[in-house]
Amino acid sequence: MNTSVNLKVAPALNATVVPISLGDRSYPIYIGENLIANPLTWQGLQKAAYALVVTNVTIAPLFAQQLKSALQPMFERVEVLSLPDGEEHKTFETLNLIFDQLLGDGADRKTTLFALGGGVIGDMTGFAAACYMRGVPFVQVATTLLAQVDSSVGGKTAINHPLGKNMIGAFYQPELVICDLNTLQTLPKRELSAGLAEIIKYGPIADMSFMGWIEEHLDALMAKDPKALAYAVKRSCEIKAGVVGADEREAGVRAILNFGHTFGHAIEAGLGFGVWLHGEAVGCGMVMAAHLSQQLGLVEHSFVERLTTLISRAGLPVVGPKLGADVYLEHMRVDKKAQNGQIRFVLIDQPGHAVLKGAEDNVVGRVIEQCCL
């Protein structure tokens, strides 16, 4: 466990703790209410002269001041940098604004970065932390459902390149992940659905009883019921913790967390980043990957139908944009799982279990034509 984070404060915070076990890079995820504003949350971090809260123009007015005040006992100076909002700003130019601020403020190696936001801010800030002076500590303060159940956990950091999603990045673990469930109350409906896509993902790849629980509690989740959200975040983090603990740098099993992402990334890049939300593209991508699994004889049609129904009920698109099979295939060949130009898909070989597999272009093309209108 990361020695700089004091686990003893978790009971006082009334927080659930999910540990990420990675030897000397281990850290806890705290899940609970009112965590950001509570100075106790931050007590175990290493004290330093300077902390930078990186956030965006939408999130800053909601939570930046409370975070800044709560951090003040630990850091002599706390600054807030508000970046533009949106996936289309997950770029080298925006990343450089973080370095401009750090260098302009004379930030040293003990500086801690706080990523206050969703996956876009988390991925960019984590990458900035990995690069600045060859690595400074950072903390994920996840404010979207998607970030709380997926992107803030596991140390994948990146920016997009016009030719490919998340293509420039690093594996770099945070010191601590904070999932303050209260932040979800201001989340727009469309963003909540995007987060549900990554929660649903954990069912087919790892735990069908969790999928059953989601089916039963979907209305409560969509109504932002605090108890349902708390369980969904906890169970998702537990599943992700198990996978990341077994394969931190995606040499093998971690690839299963990309179920739906190969088709999804092609949708995002093909339409232009920011047109469909990442979670929407993943939701639809899971439908396409399930169809491909069926085409290859791995699962029954009833499973494809069950998954499609759940994704649709979660307010996510289940029909892909008609970009043409060639455009999909071209983008999918840039996927990080591709080897020698051969696309490898995360497919379901039995409900609750995923495999990494190639498929003939004509079979993939048929699935694309079938799933896109």
Q: Contact positions toward ligand GLY, by CB under 6 A?
A: 150, 154, 156, 254, 257-258
Active-site position among 90, 240, 291, 344 = 240
**Beta-strand pair 156-161/164-171:** antiparallel
Strand partners, 354: 348
With residue 291 as reference, give the H or E element that holds it. helix 278-295
Active-site position among 87, 175, 191, 198 = 198
Q: Which does 258 bind (CB under 5 to 8 A by kind): ligand GLY, ligand NAD, none?
A: ligand GLY
Which two three-digit tokens encode residue 346? 């995360």
| Of the residues 70, 83, 146, 229, which one makes contact with ligand NAD according to CB under 6 A | 146
Its sign, for the CA torsion 262, 236, 127, 22, is negative
| Of the residues 117, 137, 203, 260, which one makes contact with ligand NAD according to CB under 6 A | 117
- 219: CB partners within 8 A, 6+ apart: none
**Binding-residue pattern over the window 191 to 230 for ligand NAD, x denoting contact by CB under 6 A:** x--x------------------------------------
258 as an active site residue: the answer is yes
291 as an active site residue: the answer is no
Strand partners, 83: 56
- How many Å apart are CA 54 and CA 213, to the nearest integer? 35
139 sits near ligand NAD (criterion: CB under 6 A)? no
119 sits near ligand NAD (criterion: CB under 6 A)? yes
Contact 190, 275 (CB under 8 A): no
Residues 264-283 that bind ligand NAD (CB under 6 A): 278-279
250 as an active site residue: the answer is yes
Closest approach of ligand NAD to the CB of residue 186, in Å? 4
Nearest 5°: the CA angle 36, 160, 342 is: 125
Closest approach of ligand NAD to the CB of residue 29, in Å? 13
Active-site position among 201, 265, 291, 331 = 265
- How many Å apart are CA 215 and CA 322, to the nearest integer? 29
280 as an active site residue: the answer is no
- Among candidates 71, 162, 160, 60, which has minimal Cα distance to 112? 71
Closest approach of ligand NAD to the CB of residue 115, in Å? 10
Whats the size of the chain, residue-wise? 373
Active-site position among 250, 268, 336, 344 = 250
Active-site position among 90, 234, 261, 306 = 261
Q: Which does 187 bind (CB under 5 to 8 A by kind): ligand NAD, ligand GLY, none?
A: ligand NAD
Closest approach of ligand GLY to the CB of residue 198, in Å? 7
**Judged by CB, which is closer to ligand GLY: 156, or 344?**
156
- How many Å apart are CA 283 and CA 357, to the nearest integer? 20
16 sits near ligand NAD (criterion: CB under 6 A)? no
227 as an active site residue: the answer is no
322 as an active site residue: the answer is no
Residue position matching structure tokens 């108890």: 227
Closest approach of ligand NAD to the CB of residue 6, in Å? 26
- Among candidates 123, 111, 112, which has minimal Cα distance to 83? 123
Q: Which does 293 bind (CB under 5 to 8 A by kind): ligand GLY, ligand NAD, none?
A: none
Q: Which does 85 bind (CB under 5 to 8 A by kind): ligand GLY, ligand NAD, none?
A: ligand NAD
96 as an active site residue: the answer is no
Residue position matching structure tokens 């169970």: 235
Return the axis-axis angle of helices 189-206 and 208-222, rounded to nearest 10°. 170
Which two three-digit tokens encode residue 234? 């906890």
Buried b (16+ CB within 10 A) or exposed e, 291-317: bbbbbbebbeeebbebbbebbebbbbb
Q: Which does 254 bind (CB under 5 to 8 A by kind): ligand NAD, ligand GLY, none?
A: ligand GLY
Question: Helices marked H in 207-277 — which ranges?
Answer: 208-222, 226-246, 261-271
Binding residues (CB under 6 A) for ligand NAD: these are 56, 58-59, 62, 85, 87, 90, 117-121, 123, 143-144, 146-147, 150-151, 154, 156, 166, 183, 186-187, 191, 194, 278-279
**Which residues are catalytic, by number?**
134, 156, 198, 240, 250, 254, 258, 261, 265, 278
